[in-house]
Amino acid sequence: MESSNASRILSFLLGTALLLAGCCAYDPVLYAQLGKSKTDVMKAFKNAEAKDVATARDDLNELVSVAQKDKKPWCSEPISQAQDIKAIFDGTDFKRKGSKIYVHKQENVTEAIDKAIQTQDRLKK
């Protein structure tokens, strides 16, 4: 009988966790910032000029800020995605343009932004 109660409690907790995880909502401001950030990040990687890198860095700081604003503790995915994107970009040495590591960072940050956009697209439905 005790294992039956434990099983019901575990089922309840898992169900509640799934419901809470599904409570993230589409954020049109975050979606727009992701698009702006992607454009400027790609420009920074293409040119590797200080002004383009600075613009992209500002965009990514804004992206993290937008992701953190008014978010619920059970909806951490957009925040962690924005922080991951920023971390990849911040870890890039733009003086090494064309190196394998540079190309790999560019691919990683593009994939991370695309994943965040896909997350928002999923939430929009």
pLDDT tens digit string along 84-110?
A: 999 999 999 999 999 999 999 999 999
> Is the residue at 11 inside a domain?
no
Task: Identify the pLDDT of residue 22.
Answer: 55
Domain annotation covers residue 67 = yes
Q: Amino acid identity of 123?
A: L
| CATH classification of the domain holding 61 | 1.20.58
Whether 20 shows a pLDDT value over 50: the answer reads no
What is the count of structural domains for the chain? 1
List all residues 6 or more positions away from 27 whose beta carbon is below 8 Å from its beta carbon.
66, 78, 120, 123
Q: Is residue 3 part of a domain?
A: no
pLDDT score recorded for residue 16:
42
Would residue 56 count as lying in a domain?
yes
**What gap in Å lies between CA 67 and CA 119, rounded to an integer?**
13
Domain range holding 49? 24-124
